[in-house]
Every structure is written in C-alpha cells, then in structure tokens.
Amino acid sequence: MAAPTLLADIGGTNARFALAQGGRLGPIVHLAVADFPEPAAAIRTFLSEHARARPKMAVLAVAGPVEGPPGSERVHLTNGTWVVSAAALRTAFGLRMVRIVNDFAAIAWAVPRLAPRHLITIGAGRAVRRAPVAVLGPGTGLGMAAYLPDPRHPAVLVTEGGHATMPAVDEREARLIAHLRAEVGHVSIERVLSGGGIEHLYGAIGAVEGLSAPVRDVATITGHALAGDCALCVRTLETFCAMLGTVAGNVALTYGARGGVLFAGGIVPRFVDFLARSAFRSRFEAKGRMSAYVRAIPTRVVIHPDPAFLGLMELLRHLSSGR
C-alpha cells in the first residue's frame, strides 16, 4: 500500500492534521498552535500518536501569504509566530514532496466537493455553471480567494484582500471607521470583518454612539446579540452583517463571481439565521447600475465542519494526477 500523505490546515489559533491514503481521509486531529514553538514540533506530536507509516508527501494549508515557487514555499502566519517552510519540513521528516498553499486556497479548492447539504443559501440568485466562485472567511482573520472552474485545468486565485481598506457606505460607518483609524491606523477589512473585528466594532459603536460598552469578547458579544438582551451587541452584529454584505458584493464584482459567493471560517456559520434577517443581502445587492448583476449571484454559508480538508484532498488529487 502507498505511504500516507500528511494534510494540515494551520491557522493562527489551531493546527489540524490528518492522513490521506488511497483516496480516503483519516481522522482530523486538532492541536493548539500556542502549545508548540514551531510547526515541526506539532507535526512530530501528531505523527507519533496517529501515524502507523511515515508519510512521503505533505500538503499544507497555512493562514498567510505564500512566498516562493511550488515545492519551496514559505509562510509566516499572519496572526501567529510560526514560519512554515516546505524545505524545512522536507528535511525534518524525509518527505519526497511538500506543497504549501494559503488556507483559503484550500477552501476554494473544496468548491467542487461541496454538496448541497454543506451549504445554506441566503437570499436569491442562481449560480452560473463554470463561472468563478468567490470564497470569504471571517475567522481569526479574513480569508479571500476564488475558484476558477475548468473541466481540465481548474485553478484557484488567492489574494490578501482582507487587508484592503474597509469602505464606508454612509456617515455612521464613516464615523465608526474614523474612530478605529484613530486607534489602529489603517482600518483594513479584516479589522472589522473577523472575530477581533466584532470586538473592534463593539467598542467603536459604544464610543461613537455614547453607549455603555463593558469589555466583552467576540463569543460574549455574539451570544448577547443572538439572545437579544444587549442593544449594543445587537447593533454590533447588525453592523457586522451589513458591512459583510457590502464587502461581499464588492468581491463578487471584482472576481465576476457569477458562480456564487461562499462564506466559510469560524464566525458566520454561528449566526446564519441572524445573517438572513439582517441587511446583509440588501447591502450585497446595493451596487447601483450593477445591482441586477449582483442580485443574480447566490450567497451561501458553508456548514461543512472541515472544508479545508475537502480542498486539500481535491488539490492532492490534482497533484497526484500531474495536472
């Protein structure tokens, strides 16, 4: 039997590992990034506890910009201290081949493997076959990528669009962004549309609108918003959803994503019903002369628990076939 392939999805908070063999994916193991000084230590722990045979290949998805040519990639975690190097891992574990992609590249590669049961549709719209599909993922940061379908040579386009400047569509949002700019300087999309972004919005709305804002983390803010027992928390989540709609509509236009816009990551799947009731979809469609174009584009939330591993399996299939 062929040796297994090591698969990994490494973010700023968690590193998840699995072994693929014979087209099948083994159990996914979660490790905390903070528990290990560097990625090789986490991989060594995973392999010592879960691998019966030493892998000969590795395909890793890492949350950060990928530098270097295929096979010699290097990534410094955007929201962490780890540096993931293909050359270092190849030497440390005697691997024949190592490929590293951006974490949202992996999720974009999952698009052809996502079934209807893995998606919840928000609003109207109908996907155009073989059209680009955009993928956004508010989580520790904000991932952004696109899947470009083709029968023989599909591709994934990865960007650092989460670090583009956050736009304001009205005076209230301009005041919120101005408040954040005074605190952090450049207000990127990620500064607002992420877990930490919800906390930033909460504080900014409290300050700008003169509301009491006791210190709360994203889970507490979201929990109170869903319970409806904190007006500031509700306003915070409503603002987050509205701004997400604006950015998603911009992304749809930028990519020509007539195949749809998907939302993955650890934030949005937690409040799909709230998102559906919010201004998200109306803001997504509010594109002036291009409103009809955007209105036809479906928006969907990915509820599969591990879409990155679906994507890594798809990428492994392409690498193994030599495409």
Tens-place pLDDT, residues 69-120: 988 999 999 778 999 999 999 999 999 999 999 888 999 999 999 999 999 9
What does the alpha-carbon distance between residue 255 and residue 267 come to, in Å, rounded to a whole number?
A: 23
Banded model confidence at residue 64, pLDDT cuts 50, 70, 90 = confident
**In the prediction, which pLDDT does 252 show?**
98
To the nearest whole percent, how much of the chain has pLDDT over 70? 99
Angle subtended by helix axes 218-227 and 195-209, to nearest 10: 70
Q: What angle do CA 265, 84, 19 make, to 5 degrees?
A: 70
Do both 121 and 248 map to the same domain?
yes
Two tokens, residue 229: 């027992």
Asked whether residue 116 falls in the same domain as residue 146, the answer is yes
Say what percent of the chain tops pLDDT 90.
Answer: 87
Verdict on whether the full-model pTM lies above 0.85? yes
Q: State the pLDDT at residue 323.
A: 55
Cα–Cα distances (Å) from 142 to 39, 49, 70, 266, in that order, read 22, 32, 24, 10
Same domain assignment for residues 158 and 261: yes
Supply 78's token pair: 């955007």
Burial of 84 (0-12, 13-18, 19+ CB in 10 A): buried
- Tell me: pLDDT of 185 over 60: yes
Give the type of residue at 175: R
**What pLDDT score was predicted for residue 320?**
83
Query: Regarding beta strands 5-10 and 133-138, do their DSSP bridges make them parallel or antiparallel, or are they unpaired?
Result: unpaired
Same domain, 42 and 119: no
Q: In terms of domains, do 217 and 233 share one?
A: yes
Can you give the CATH number for the domain in which 22 is found? 3.30.420.40
| Calpha distance 10→245 (Å, rounded) | 27
Average pLDDT of the chain to the nearest whole number: 95
Q: 65: number of CA atoms within 13 Å, CB side?
A: 6
Q: Is 284 in the same domain as 310?
A: no
Quick one: which of 184, 229, 227 has its CA closest to 203?
184
133 and 261 assigned to the same domain: yes
pLDDT above 60 (res 305): yes
Same domain membership, residue 263 and residue 151:
yes
Distance CA 106, CA 308 (A): 5
**313 & 262 share domain:** no
Q: Are 29 and 38 in contact (CB under 8 A)?
A: no
| Same domain (yes/no): 42, 89 | yes
Tell me if 105 sits within 8 A of 133, measured CB to CB. Answer: no
pLDDT of residue 136: 95
Distance between CA atoms of residues 224 and 206, nearest Å: 15
The C-alpha angle 159, 162, 163, rounded to 5 degrees, equals: 95
Q: Residue 200: which CATH number?
A: 3.40.367.20
Phi, psi of 136 (to 5 degrees): -120, 150
Of the pLDDT bands very low, low, confident and very high (cuts 50, 70, 90), residue 322 is low
**Residue 228 DSSP symbol:** T
User: Residue 205 — very low, low, confident or very high, per pLDDT cuts 50/70/90?
Assistant: very high
User: For residues 189 and 161, what is the distance between their CA atoms, to the nearest angstrom?
Assistant: 8
The helix-helix angle for 195-209 and 231-255 (nearest 10°) equals 120
User: What whole-number distance in Å separates Cα of residue 218 and Cα of residue 201?
Assistant: 10
Residue 58 pLDDT level (bands cut at 50, 70, 90): very high
Q: Is the same domain home to 124 and 54?
A: no
Give the domain extent around 191.
111-303
Given a contact cutoff of 8 angstroms between Cβ atoms, the answer to whether 48 and 61 are in contact is no
Q: Please tell me whether residue 127 adopts helix, strand or coil conformation.
A: coil
- Say whether pLDDT at 248 is over 70: yes
Residue 80 has a pLDDT of 86
Residues 234, 61: Cα–Cα separation, whole Å: 34
Q: What is the pLDDT of residue 63?
A: 86
* Cβ(218)–Cβ(195) below 8 Å: yes
What integer is the mean pLDDT of 155-164? 91
pLDDT for 1 equals 61
Number of domains in the chain: 2
For residues 213 and 142, state if they share a domain.
yes
CA distance 4 to 96: 12
- Nearest CA to 308 out of 157, 141, 135 is that of 135
